[in-house]
Amino acid sequence: MIRSIPRASLALLALASSLPVHAQQFVSARDGQSVLARISQKEVTRISFEHGRVRKVTGNAGEFVLERDEDRGQVFIRPASAEATKPINIFVSSDHNTVGLILQPVDAPSDSIVIREARAVVAPSPGQPGRTHRHVRAVKNLLLSLASDVVPDELELREANQELALWPGLRLTLVKSLLGAELVGEKYLLANVSPQEIAIVPSDLYKPGVVAVSLESETLRAGESTPLFVIRKRRPND
């Protein structure tokens, strides 16, 4: 029996590096947000929206090969080189949103990425700047730095091994933080210490100030753990 985590408990997160293999990856993101996902080094990976069509894919064409399925509104992508290990950055647009995908090539069979769009998009309030291209790029670079353990000169690294209270059966450990002028990237390890499976809803990991979340596994069997990456706005007390 799979036990789901109540929304109220997940909302307490202020909210990541192994890559478990699944036949299908579900990633959740709002317009302008970037998330991590994996693609096969040698085979094609299908990308689709859960409730929509892929209208446009933008990225460095020299890094990947793209095939379109116009009838079903999906695309198939593979790295230009079968030996590729560098993450591939693309933007995928539906009728309503544009989502950034940071695709990590791995030596694995063909896979699928299904993008879950947020049901509602909150417009910026008066005087609050919208998400610019520069902001989206900063989020992507911060996610890449967290995932690759590379610390750019403009970021401050804070190592940690701090366990946070979450929900019975789950252990959340803050591994490290990367602090920039406006954004903070946090890497966590989320572990299931209960005797049963636990299902996690990625959209529940968002709270005010969080701009991107990457959860590599949404279902944890007993004893399993998964990396969790969170990008949030920097606070005055950080």
Residue pLDDT, tens place only, 2-44: 455 444 333 333 333 333 444 578 888 777 778 888 899 999 9
Span 59-68, average pLDDT: 91
Predicted local distance difference test score (pLDDT) of residue 96: 83
Domain count, the chain: 1
Residue 54 has pLDDT above 90, yes or no: yes
Using CA atoms, how far apart are residues 93 and 37, in angstroms rounded to an integer?
16
Predicted local distance difference test score (pLDDT) of residue 15: 37
Specify if 123 maps to a domain.
Answer: no
Which residue, among 5, 14, 1, has the nearest Cα to 231 in the 3D structure?
A: 14
Specify if 69 maps to a domain.
Answer: yes
Specify if 126 maps to a domain.
Answer: no
CA atoms within a 13 Å half-sphere pointing along the CA-CB vector of 54: 27
Specify if 128 maps to a domain.
Answer: no
Specify if 129 maps to a domain.
Answer: no
Using CA atoms, how far apart are residues 212 and 218, in angstroms rounded to an integer?
16
- Angle at Cα 96 formed by Cα 94 and Cα 101, nearest 5°? 50
204-215: pLDDT as tens digits: 777 888 888 887
The model's pTM? 0.51
Predicted local distance difference test score (pLDDT) of residue 70: 92
Predicted local distance difference test score (pLDDT) of residue 132: 60
Predicted local distance difference test score (pLDDT) of residue 41: 92
8: domain range? 3-118+135-233
Specify if 127 maps to a domain.
Answer: no
Specify if 158 maps to a domain.
Answer: yes
- CB neighbour burial string for 44-72, b if at least 16 within 10 angstroms, e if fewer: bbbbbbeebebeebebeeebbeeeeeeee
104-141: pLDDT as tens digits: 888 888 889 999 876 433 334 344 444 566 777 788 88
Provide the 8-state DSSP code for 152. Answer: -
Specify if 48 maps to a domain.
Answer: yes
What percent of the chain shows pLDDT beyond 70? 81
